[in-house]
Amino acid sequence: MSGSATLLKLHSPLRGWCASLEETPDEVFAQRFLGDGVAIDPTGDTLHAPCDGEIVSVAASKHAVALRADNGAEILLHVGIDTVALGGNGFEALVQPGARVSRGQPLLKFDLDVLARGAKSLITPMLVTNGDRFSVANACVALAVDVGDALFEVIATAGSVAAVSGETSQEHTLSFVVPLEHGIHARPAALIANFAKTQPQEIAISAHGRSANARSAVSLMVLGVKHGDEITLTARGAGAAVLDQLKQLVLGIKEAPHAAAPIKTTAEEPPAVVSTPASSNKLRGVIASRGLAVGRAVTLRAAEIAVVEAGKGIAHESAEFERARDEVRARLTQLAQHSQGPAKDVITAHLEFIDDWELVASARRTISRAKSAAFAWRRAVRDSADTLRALGEPRMSERVDDLIDLESQVLLALSGEAPATIPQLPDRAILVAEDLKPSQLVSLDATRLAGICLAGGGPTSHVAILAAAMGVPALVALGQSVLSVADDAWLVLDAEQGTLTISPDQVALAAAEQTLTQRKQRQQSERAAAHVDCRTADGERIEVFANLGSIAEAQVAVAHGAEGCGLLRTEFLFLERDAPPSEDEQLQQYQGIAHALEKRPLVIRTLDIGGDKPIPYLPLPPEENPALGLRGVRTSLWRPDLLRVQLRAILRVQPVEQCRVLLPMITDPAEIRAVRRMLDEVRRELGIASAVQVGAMIETPASAVIAARIAREVDFLSIGTNDLTQYTLAMDRGHAELAHRIDGLHPAVLNLIAMTVDAANEHDKLVAVCGGLASEPAAVPILIGLGVRELSVVPTLVPQLKSLIRTVTVDACRSLAQRALGMDTAEAVRALANEAMTPARGVLAAE
Ligand code: PEP
Ligand code: MG
């Protein structure tokens, strides 16, 4: 090798302005990931060879040429930024791979107008891609250049020359047949893209006469590679080993045994099932509101989010685009950490798409044409989705769903929340939705709503509570498959067993209808006895109250034999409004409920907003973790103006002694004293001489542990097992993935309940349980065994629970509770409780 071969001068391939690579609006070039060199902002329309050499490759979309100089330096000329997406439009290749070219020879011609309209930028990097063997010196920047002007020198680094004529200087291509059963669908595409992103050189994959950047999972899917198709890998720069690694990766991909996401189905064809199917047309979920329903599916779909085409400036829209992607990526990453099975696959696909090379490039390009980020993202997604759809492959159609889902996630992050369309319900409607907000549920026609099936959600979320209050059976955490249920399909929702049967056959449907009828008959006989005082089989009096949220529910509760209201969730009166209700409006509601209860006690809980009960017109400061932020009494003490209005409304209810005030989310006695001070002021203002009974909710581990000190400050305690479980187990009550594990029968929760009951007894204070556990037949004997004598439950369950209580003895409940306290897991407690209640083997029944 002669000395001159080690130094090579590169000449300008274009007329234009020569700039530093840092000025390239693409970090891959700007940060020299692909190699060192310069960039030219062209005024001419023809790309010329910067030196003598051999053409290694011409991109399928003709926007880039790679050439190997005689000294082995590999030079990439990349016309414009994100020009790959033009798909060759505006480009004409004047050379073919393998051609020998001399310096100054035209290589490509391009239409400056087309590029100016369609590309992010015209700036054209010229780089040395085998930087491990060559370095760049004496680069000229910031000057006008003409074709052929010297731009920089390429110097061979020690030891590189010997390799010049070796294997690494060859163009690298590798073809093989894809053995994957489902071709290059989402998962293989994601794995390939992840690998390609870690490589310094670009890798192209071509098939069916088309080529895709291997860093873009979406572009790979769009190739439509099927089982048995041949693909060709091409790499610029030093890449033979890389291509072989990539081939091995593809050959080694194991097909997952389950579909990564639900397969779209029609009514005739049963939908795909989640990871724990009960049978081919059954999905398993978590019980949020007990009962059985037979009806027809009505799906609630998020409304199309409107986007404005025009942007508010390229800088603004670009920044917004990045912000929204960051937000969605952070959320998905968090979700991925605690997901498994199909849910995890879907989230992983979304994470892949959010950073997809081509999707992002395409959106950025549209933004640079003065369009809004939302418009740009939608266009990028829809273009890819259309191409995928056109492949007619079921697996690719699944990805269309993922893309559209991700489209809305980013649009939501850009624009705030999208309204969901509330459908008109037919009779016996079973609502199927991803998730529901309390405000959406309360706006549905309850008389037509037979059941609720949610893909997400948690069993003690407020939607679950509302559903139970409405007497509507509900299953949550059914997984994404449920969203594939066709509108109008017959469903059997068994929220006693936790299963949803889709399009059951005639026999199964008839059996379900028969069970429904039998249950109704049993309920009728229970209701007939519901107004009689409730005692255990050995004569212990147990009071059964109801949890309420409205006047209508109070009427239902009384009709079902409730002995009072143990928890009025006043925040539900604040929903579906634009502003907080005035003192008079609140009074009217509380008074209405007091009337409906016909002098029975009414425990009114002060406003418990925050956490999973946000109220749009009462914005709280931004919180990283709302469940651990301003909630319950903390919010009231933060907004004492709201609390004062509420206390005034409560104290004005007649007769005064019917109402008791209950404080949510207490963690220490100081909070109680602060509210009591305000209550005393309000009493004086209203001239009320008699004392008002005040209670504390025990729903944080802190309050359970110091229940004795809290009991000294109040007249009664009420245990909120929903939050107590959430905070004890450190599991979000609305968390779909954890829904199966967030169980108030966990021994840790039961021990905290036991401590609370003991503390209340020690101070001679009444203690009730008003959380969801009190409405669970399996939990009631244990609560009685722990010493609880007042339950506040879902109104429609009062008759059933009373009839259950009449069958047990306190002694049997005590020994059951003692055993439960010593168990290790919630499942063990549940198994014990269920067995105890089995008539044949049960230990609960009276002799
Ligand atoms: C509870 O936490 O158990 C409770 C009754 O309060 P809410 O469900 O309204 O938070
Ligand atoms: Mg609570």
Structure tokens at 436: 């529901």
To the nearest 5 percent, what fractions of the chain are helix, strand and coil? 40, 20, 40
Asked whether 490 and 294 are in contact (CB, 8 A), the reply is: yes
Best CA proximity match to 128, nearest among 15, 16, 29:
29
Task: Among the bound ligands, name the one nearest to the CA of residue 571.
Answer: 1
Q: Measuring from atom 1 of ligand 1, which residue has the nearest CA?
A: 720
Retrieve residue 346's tokens.
Answer: 């879907």
Alpha carbon nearest to ligand 1 atom 8, residue:
722
Q: What angle do helix axes 394-415 and 341-354 make, rounded to 10 degrees?
A: 70
Task: Place 344 in a pLDDT band, splitting at 50, 70 and 90.
Answer: low
Angle at Cα 739 formed by Cα 452 and Cα 800, nearest 5°? 60
Give the residue, out of 572, 722, 791, 792, with the most ligand 1 atoms within 8 A of its beta carbon, to mutate for a pocket test. Answer: 722
State the chain's mean pLDDT as an integer.
Answer: 85
pLDDT number for residue 420: 55
In this predicted structure, the answer to whether residue 397 has a pLDDT above a threshold of 70 is no
Q: What number does the ligand 1 atom closest to the CA of 723 have?
A: 2
Q: Atom 10 (ligand 1): residue with closest C-alpha?
A: 723
Per-residue pLDDT band at 181 (split at 50, 70, 90): confident
Looking up tokens 């890389």 gives: 242
Q: Is 387 exposed, middle or buried (0-12, 13-18, 19+ CB in 10 A)?
A: middle
Highest mean pLDDT among 60-64, 121-125, 183-187: 121-125
- Which residue has a Cα nearest atom 9 of ligand 1? 569
Q: Please name the residues in contact with 491: beta carbons below 8 A apart, sequence gap of 6 or more.
A: 293, 294, 295, 296, 297, 430, 432, 451, 453, 485, 500, 501, 502, 503
Ligand 1 lining (C-beta closer than 6 Å)? 465, 567, 569, 608, 699, 720-723, 770-771
Residue 413 CB burial class (10 angstroms; 0-12, 13-18, ≥19): buried
Domains and CATH numbers, the chain: 1-166 (2.70.70.10), 168-255 (3.30.1340.10), 282-297+426-518 (3.50.30.10), 314-415 (1.10.274.10), 530-619+626-836 (3.20.20.60)
Confidence class for position 523, pLDDT limits 50, 70, 90:
confident
User: How much is the average pLDDT of 692-707?
Assistant: 98
Residue 728 has φ and ψ, to the nearest 5°, of -75, -45
Q: Report the amino acid identity of residue 152.
A: F
* pLDDT score of 343 more than 60: no
**Higher-scoring residue by pLDDT: 50, 2:** 50
CB 216 within 8 A of CB 358: yes
**Omega cis (within 30) before 655:** yes
Looking up tokens 């937000």, which residue turns up? 327
In angstroms, the first-to-last Cα distance of the chain is: 104
- Residue 460 C-alpha to ligand 1 middle, in angstroms? 8
Whether 114 has a pLDDT exceeding 80, the answer reads yes
How confident is the model over 824-844, as a mean pLDDT? 82
- Range from 118-122, 440-444, 683-687, 801-805 carrying the lowest mean pLDDT: 440-444
The pLDDT assigned to 520 comes to: 87
Which atom of ligand 1 is the closest one to the Cα of 726? 2
Q: Specify the amino acid at residue 392.
A: G
**Residue 341 pLDDT:** 45
Distance 697 CA to ligand 1 centre (A): 9
* pLDDT over 70 (residue 340): no
Centroid of ligand 1 to alpha carbon of 750 (angstroms): 16
Range with lowest mean pLDDT among 196-210, 481-495, 711-725: 196-210
Give the single-character DSSP code of 652: T
Q: What amino acid occupies position 603?
A: V
**Cα 527 to ligand 2 centroid, rounded to whole Å:** 28
Confidence at 262, pLDDT banded by 50, 70, 90: very low
Assign 166 a pLDDT band (cuts: 50, 70, 90).
very low
Whether pLDDT at 492 is above 80: yes
Are the C-beta atoms of 779 and 816 separated by less than 8 Å? no
- Four-CA torsion 371, 373, 375, 376, nearest 10 degrees: 80
Ligand closest to 438 (CA) is 1
Residue 406 has pLDDT above 70, yes or no: yes
Cα(632) to ligand 1 centroid in Å equals 10
Beta bridge partners of 177: 230
pLDDT computed for residue 270 by the predictor? 25
616: pLDDT confidence band, cut at 50, 70 and 90? Answer: low
Ligand 1 atom closest to Cα of residue 571 = 9
- CA-CA-CA-CA dihedral for 809, 815, 818, 820, to nearest 10: -80
Assigned token pair, 105? 């020879």
Question: Environment class of residue 485 by beta-carbon count within 10 Å: exposed (0-12), middle (13-18) or buried (19+)?
Answer: buried
**Burial class (CB within 10 angstroms; exposed 0-12, middle 13-18, buried 19+) of 693:** middle
Q: How far apart are CA 185 and CA 197, in angstroms?
A: 18
- Where is average pLDDT lowest: 265-279, 321-335, 588-602, 725-739? 265-279
723-769: pLDDT as tens digits: 999 999 999 887 877 888 999 999 999 999 999 999 999 999 999 99
- Going from the Cα of 722 to the center of ligand 1, the distance in angstroms, rounded, reads 5
CA distances from 40 to 44, 91, 128, 344 (A): 10, 17, 15, 44
Task: Indicate which ligand has the atom closest to the C-alpha of 469.
Answer: 1
Judged by DSSP in three states, 199 sits in: coil
Q: Which residue has the tokens 């931004």?
A: 622
The pLDDT value given to residue 782: 98
Which residues fall inside 5 Å of ion ligand 2, going by CB?
A: 699, 720, 723
How far apart CA 556 and CA 546 sit, in angstroms, is 10
Rounded mean pLDDT of 256-267? Answer: 29
pLDDT digits (tens, 9 = 90+) for 280-315: 588 989 888 989 999 999 998 766 678 899 999 888
The arithmetic mean of pLDDT across residues 352-373, rounded, is 86
Q: Which two tokens stand for residue 609?
A: 């907003």
Which ligand does the CA of 605 lie closest to? 1
767 CA distance to ligand 1 middle (Å): 15
Task: Give the 3-state DSSP-derived string for 108-150, with helices as H, strands as E and coil as C.
Answer: EEECHHHHHHHCCECCEEEEECCCCCEEEECCCCCEEECCCCE
Residue 438: pLDDT band (50, 70, 90) is: low
Among 343-347, 401-405, 802-806, name the one with the lowest average pLDDT. 343-347
- How sure is the predictor about 432, in pLDDT bands with cuts at 50, 70 and 90? very high
Residue 719 CA: which ligand 1 atom is closest? 3
The whole-number pLDDT of residue 304 equals 67
Mutate which of 569, 603, 725, 793 for ligand 1? The one with the most ligand atoms within 8 Å of its CB, which is 569
Sole residue written with tokens 């330096």? 73
Distance 330 CA to ligand 2 centre (A): 28
CA–CA separation, 412 vs 328, rounded Å? 9
The answer to which of 2-16, 387-401, 829-843 has the lowest mean pLDDT is 387-401
Beta carbons of 275 and 342 less than 8 angstroms apart: yes
How far apart, in whole angstroms, are the C-alpha atoms of residue 207 and residue 221? 11
Which ligand is the nearest neighbour of the Cα of 769?
1
Atom of ligand 1 nearest to the CA of 460: 8
Q: Hey, which of 723, 725, 742 would you mutate to test ligand 1's pocket, going by the most ligand atoms within 8 Å of its Cβ?
A: 723
> What confidence score (pLDDT) does residue 416 get?
64
Largest CA distance in the chain: 109
Between 418 and 834, where is the model more confident? 834
Would you name the residues annotated as active-site residues? 462, 770
Of 743, 730, 805, 611, give the one whose Cα is nearest residue 287: 743
Q: Which atom of ligand 1 is nearest to the CA of 772?
A: 3
- Nearest atom of ligand 1 to the alpha carbon of 770: 5
Is the pLDDT at 477 greater than 50? The verdict is: yes
pLDDT at res. 509: 93
Give the Å distance between the CA of 720 and the centre of ligand 1: 5
- Closest by CA to 182, choosing from 130, 233, 226, 240, is 226
- Estimate the crossing angle of helix 314-337 against helix 394-415, to 10 degrees: 120
Question: Which atom, in ligand 1's list, is nearest to the CA of 718?
Answer: 5
User: CA–CA separation, 169 vs 297, rounded Å?
Assistant: 63
Helix (H/G/I), strand (E/B), else coil: 439: helix
The pLDDT > 90 percentage for the chain reads: 45
> Strand 543-548 vs strand 499-502: parallel, antiparallel, or unpaired?
unpaired
CA of 559 to the centre of ligand 2 (A): 26
Cβ contact 534:775 at 8 Å: no
From ligand 1's centre to the CA of 547, what distance in Å? 10
From the alpha carbon of 721, which atom of ligand 1 is closest?
3
Report, as an integer, the average pLDDT of 403-417: 79
Ligand 2 centroid – CA 693 distance (Å): 20
DSSP string over 331-399: HHHHHHHT--HHHHHHHHHHHHHHT-HHHHHHHHHHHTTTB-HHHHHHHHHHHHHHHHHHTT-HHHHHH
For atom 6 of ligand 1, which residue has the closest CA? 720
**Which ligand places an atom closest to the C-alpha of 772?**
1
Say what the pLDDT of residue 353 is. 87
Of 401-415, 483-497, 685-699, the range with the highest mean pLDDT is: 685-699
Q: pLDDT tens digits for 186-215?
A: 778 888 888 888 777 778 899 887 888 888
CA distances to 60, 324, 675, 704, 708 from 753, in Å: 69, 43, 24, 7, 12
Which segment of 340-349, 580-589, 615-624, 803-812 scores lowest on mean pLDDT? Answer: 340-349
